[in-house]
Amino acid sequence: MADLAGIRADFPTFREFTYLDVAARCPLCNRVRGAIEAFLDDTQRGAYTKPRWFEKVEQVRGKVARLVGADVDEIAFVKNTSEGINAIATSLPWREGDNAIVCPDLEHPNNVYSWLNLRRRGVEVRILPLKGPVVTPQEVAAAADGKTRAVAVSAVSFTTGGRMDVDALSALCRERGIFLFMDAVQSLGIMATDVKKTPVGAMAAATSKGLLGLYGLGVLYCRKERAESLAPTYLARFGVQVEGEEHIQGAELVLARGSRRFEVGNYNFLAIHALDAALDLLLEVGTDVIETHVLNLARHTAEGLLSLGYQVVSPVDDRSRSHVVVFRSPGGRPTNEEISGHLDAHKIRHSVRRNGVRVSFHAYNQDEDVQKLLSALAKLRG
């Protein structure tokens, strides 16, 4: 197991900033940069051949599968979270009158529009109101009926920081025969994920946040037996079961095994090499260790914010807490923008989202980051 303090030293951002913004994007670490530079060097020299790049793709596919407890054929590479969502949403066997359930107040817009777009196919999209920092399985159950085919939810909300009870929601959906789609972009690489322990129909995540990689690449998991019942809306060479890149299948179309059928066009080989190095780091530490670490930091942050008189929007109970903490001032003074400007002046990286100011933690963060944040905010409240 890697030492967390040693991991921090691999992230040069901490020489200048207090980085608390992985929910927006990750800072680049030295080992990932090294992998990028090695790829660029080899590409510039013409040293890498495409078959070797394909070998790297399969190696990284295997590491992603290890990270989430999946079979290797259950992992596909996509462009980003949004492409993964659309791949699943458009390939489900919808019938007119079916419905899907989503909570826009909880979700990133990309996990809303993909489902709203199904209305043109006669699908009803049921809007679940947000009554707290998370959606509960009981609320989903009350909104569902015999024609509910899918529920779309984020494992961790980008706007409230709430962590869904995915275990209970998964059990509910299995019992009712509902396809559960999970937007895992705010959780994967940070919160422990095991799709064998907690079966979901599918999940997607970009590699630019908790996975410590780059924009332009995402991973899509779809449970193999479900994936092989789905017909992708878009189909390209890697989605078809043939040998050799240039071969064309005969009259009978046989789709690739499992989630591979959702892969369209050539891979982002640069981002694949970056992800390879990032996954080595995550697998060395273990997401169970990372989860425990960041939840402790989030708890200390929330407690400190409350003691300073700030309002914590995120859940304060251990069951729903995540690595994301959203807060604001009661009565709106100072404003979120004023808080943000003050944190910028103290070189504390953060985001402002619809419910307040957001900070978020990963393996590289330490208690000293929490103390710098609280110290800066104490000065602001005077």
CATH of the domain at 355: 3.90.1150.10
Structural contact between residues 37 and 220, judged by C-beta atoms closer than 8 angstroms: no
**350, two tokens:** 């953060």
Query: Average pLDDT, stretch 287-310?
Result: 97
Question: Residue 370: is its pLDDT beyond 80?
Answer: yes
Question: Residue 1: is its pLDDT beyond 50?
Answer: no
Query: Average pLDDT, stretch 253-265?
Result: 93
Same-domain status, 167 and 194: yes
Using CA of residue 370, residue 372, residue 373, residue 377, what is the dihedral sign?
A: positive
Structural contact between residues 191 and 211, judged by C-beta atoms closer than 8 angstroms: no
Same-domain status, 338 and 194: no
75/262 Cα distance (integer angstroms): 9
**184, two tokens:** 């895992």
Report residue 202 CA to chain centroid gap: 12
108/322 Cα distance (integer angstroms): 16
Same-domain status, 150 and 260: yes
CB burial string 173-198: b at 16+ within 10 A, e below: beeeebbbbbbbbbbbbbbbbebeeb
CATH, residue 209: 3.40.640.10
142: number of Cβ within 10 Å: 10
Mean pLDDT of the chain: 95
Lowest mean pLDDT among 15-19, 48-52, 202-206, 354-358: 48-52
Same-domain status, 334 and 231: no
Same-domain status, 209 and 338: no
Report residue 155 CA to chain centroid gap: 8
Same-domain status, 210 and 222: yes
pLDDT reported for residue 381: 76
For 37-44, the CB contacts below 8 A with 24+ separation are: 38/273, 39/269, 39/270, 39/273, 39/274, 40/270
Same-domain status, 13 and 142: no
Question: Residue 296: is its pLDDT beyond 70?
Answer: yes
Structural contact between residues 75 and 219, judged by C-beta atoms closer than 8 angstroms: yes
* H-type alpha helices, the chain: 4-8, 30-45, 50-68, 81-89, 110-116, 137-143, 166-176, 224-227, 269-285, 287-307, 336-345, 367-381
Same-domain status, 275 and 299: no
The contacts of residue 33 (CB under 8 Å, 6+ apart) are none
- The three-class DSSP label of residue 239 is helix
Same-domain status, 100 and 220: yes
The domain total for the chain is: 2
Cross-strand pairs, 352:
357
Same-domain status, 300 and 252: no
End-of-domain residue from the set 247, 264, 284: 284
pLDDT digits (tens, 9 = 90+) for 311-346: 999 999 999 999 999 999 998 889 999 999 999 999
pLDDT reported for residue 332: 82
**262, two tokens:** 């959702």
168/161 Cα distance (integer angstroms): 18
Report which secondary-structure segment, H or E, holds 202: strand 202-206
pTM: 0.95
* Domain span including residue 320: 4-26+286-381
How big is the chain, counted in residues?
382
End-of-domain residue from the set 254, 269, 284: 284
Same-domain status, 84 and 210: yes
Question: Residue 31: is its pLDDT beyond 90?
Answer: yes
- What DSSP string describes 322-347? -SEEEEE-GGG-S-HHHHHHHHHHTT
Which of the two residues, 335 and 251, has the higher pLDDT score? 335
**207, two tokens:** 């590699």
Residue bearing tokens 């000293």 = 368
pLDDT reported for residue 247: 63
pLDDT digits (tens, 9 = 90+) for 122-160: 999 999 999 988 999 999 999 999 999 999 999 999 999
Structural contact between residues 239 and 256, judged by C-beta atoms closer than 8 angstroms: yes
Same-domain status, 280 and 295: no
9: number of Cβ within 10 Å: 12
Residue bearing tokens 């189909």 = 235
End-of-domain residue from the set 284, 308, 328: 284
- The three-class DSSP label of residue 219 is strand
